[in-house]
Amino acid sequence: MREENAGRAIGLDFGTTNTVAAVARDDGMAELVTFAGEQATGSVFRSALCFWQDEAERGGLGHEAGPWAIADYLDYPQGSRFIQSFKSVAASPLFEQASVFHKRFRFEELGQIFLGHLAAHAGGALDTVGARIVVGRPVDYAGARADPALARERYDRMFAGFGAEVHYVYEPLGAAFSFAARLTEPTTVLVADFGGGTSDFSIVRVAGPEARPRCVPLSSTGVGIAGDRFDSRIVERLVLPLLGKGGSYRSFDKILEIPAGYFSDFSDWSKLALMRNRRTLDELGKLRRSAVEPAAIDRMIAIIENELGYALYDAVGQLKRALSTEEHAGFRFTGGGLDIEGEVSRADFESWIAPDIARIETAIDAALLRAGVAPEAIDRVFLTGGSSLIPAIRRSFERRFGEQRIGAGGELTSIAHGLALIGQAENIADWAA
């Protein structure tokens, strides 16, 4: 789908879990950027960083990003600092800096390091000179006290050196623009984008192929619930009880329940990666000395000190993906004194995430209300993002809109593809957030 060509455009879907880039060509088509090298995983670049001490490097720290960061971490986990899903703290006023060995990094500094490696592994495909850069952003940011203005400031600083002309567009609108390229007649489309940190929804009216503008956005809503929250539900049920959650500690002559705050960061992998610091470990050490069951706290400390967060959440992700295709799936994690093995049913998992799906359905209702569109007036529903593959998510849309109106595809790549196309639209201001 081509509108007025505004020159070379790059679409960047900087995601909580994965990052994908696309480049729009002069003929109005867009191609995904493919990363090259031994560790490359096609067009999907993991949103992760790995640091290690190296006196030969500037500042005494070496670093990598994407699948290369995962490989370096797995080679030497105890000598590395592995950070993933750092986008989740973009809007958090509680997050100021991440402690990495002897240095502290602000959000935008982590982002700049990440972008540098992303561009390097793209082999020149992400040359931003003279290009219009379109970056996806969630409709609502993750976090209980999310501050959109703060996130915008951090994004501005993160992308300041990446391109001269940077625009921000809601992520589901990127997916909508990509989906519209397939359509040949006027259509009202609801796009549901299920990412790692947020679930976002947009309603777009698509005109005929020759009309300009081709797409008109009607509404967008979002909620800070998505794949990471579903992962945390599994951790809460299967792992945290073995780490002391629900346990007790001694305070003078009283026996009290261990505060839930000790476990909130552990069940969020973006925060778990930052728990390996002296202050947190000192607090856990004090808790261990007063805990009724100190071995449970020992296991939590061991997971943090041995940098086992990636292995833990990798096991969780495998279980979640398996339950998208099977009624029952096995879970296994070994490390830090833990050896958890068992079978989980899809029904159990769906009961754990039922409150989250209810909030997602409320956000969909808000999108329809803001657009002034009834459910029966939605012609097509396009589901994208990894969590759109969860059967309970799909059933929710089937109940509301009917199975025949639902489409999917490009679960990890459609947003970047659409953002690049938006970058060539003459009316880009109509899409900017």
pLDDT in tens, 300-320: 999 988 888 889 989 999 999
Cα–Cα separations (whole angstroms), residue 291 to 267, 281, 299, 414:
20, 15, 13, 49
Residue 131: φ, ψ to 5°: -95, 150
Supply the pLDDT for residue 374. 96
Supply the pLDDT for residue 6. 52
Q: How far is residue 52's CA from residue 270's CA, in Å, rounded to a whole number?
A: 18
Q: Enumerate the H helices of 194-307 as residue ranges.
A: 227-238, 261-264, 269-272, 278-290, 294-305
Split at pLDDT 50, 70, 90, the class of 145 is confident
Split at pLDDT 50, 70, 90, the class of 335 is confident
Q: Is residue 2 predicted with pLDDT exceeding 50?
A: no
285, amino acid identity: G
DSSP 3-state of 83: strand
Residue 402: φ, ψ to 5°: 90, 140
Calculate ∠ Cα 343-349-354, nearest 5°.
165
Strand partners, 206: 187, 215
Q: Which residue has the higher pLDDT, 66 or 276?
A: 66
Could you tell me what percent of the chain has a pLDDT over 70?
Answer: 98
Enter the tokens of residue 213: 């503008």
Split at pLDDT 50, 70, 90, the class of 1 is very low
Supply the pLDDT for residue 301. 93
User: Where do the structural domains in the chain lie, given as residue ranges?
Assistant: 9-185+410-430, 228-352
pTM given for the model: 0.88
What SS3 string covers 170-223? EHHHHHHHHHHCCCCCCEEEEEEEECCCCEEEEEEEECCCCCCCCEEEEEEEEE
135 and 159 Cβ atoms separated by less than 8 Å: yes
Calculate ∠ Cα 83-86-87, nearest 5°.
160
Split at pLDDT 50, 70, 90, the class of 372 is very high
Q: Is residue 429 predicted with pLDDT exceeding 90?
A: no
Average pLDDT, the chain: 90
Q: Is residue 4 predicted with pLDDT exceeding 50?
A: no
Tens of pLDDT, residue by residue over 271-295, are: 787 788 888 899 999 999 999 999 9
DSSP 3-state of 233: helix
How is domain 9-185+410-430 classified at the architecture level of CATH? 2-Layer Sandwich (3.30)
Q: Is residue 50 predicted with pLDDT exceeding 50?
A: yes
